[in-house]
Chains A and B, each alone.
Chain A
């Protein structure tokens, strides 16, 4: 990958991977407001807004983070499986994307229930689920961001083998 292209991929990755926890934090705030408020007008506004935020911002950012991260790592010497911090970030992001998709159903459910004046069973349970899941997601994404900044030491066995191959070619 050329230096210009590498910087473009890195910029896209930084923008999406920093925006992702920010968008989830906004979702968390809305989820908390939905739980604590007794105002039906606020509830009718909050849950459909959460569904829009999730479909149009969080899901796209999640997959953009994953794709730009893979492109950035494969286009540089960091590689995708050479350093533990990159592998751990991948292991955080892929399950996060899957868990996010699983949670789209309760998000849609709550948006529909809010528009129907909160008629339905177990709404409190679903509301709490959305708060806890988005709170956990913010924590996990902050850990992923910290890994990118600190880049803790550690080559994987594959990374060590690749480095030895590169050295033997010099």
Chain B
């Protein structure tokens, strides 16, 4: 966090990125949802190594 506000002073670029969610954020969100869905799918299929007896 040593650089301060890299997008300040770049009007058009800032508006472009503020107006829509960046692609990397969408991909990150999709990956997170996929991992959570996969975990619960494996969990309910009894394949996830989660100990219930503890």
Contact = CB atoms under 8 A, between A and B. Distances in A.
Pairing of A with B: yes
Interface residues on B, range: 20 to 34
Contact of A129 (B2, B17, B51): B51
A77 B8 CA distance: 10
B24 interface: yes
Contacts of A77: 4-5, 8
Interface of A: 10, 13, 72-73, 76-78, 83-84, 88, 105-106, 109, 121-122, 125-126, 128-129, 132, 148, 151-157, 159-160, 163, 166
Contacts, number: 70
B45 to A, nearest CB: 15
Contact of A151 (B6, B8, B28): B6
The 7 closest A-B pairs by CB, nearest first: A160-B18, A154-B22, A77-B5, A128-B49, A155-B18, A129-B49, A126-B51
Contact of A73 (B1, B17, B51): B1
Contact of A122 (B2, B17, B18, B53): B53
A88 B54 contact: no
A156 B24 CA distance: 13
A130 to B, nearest CB: 9
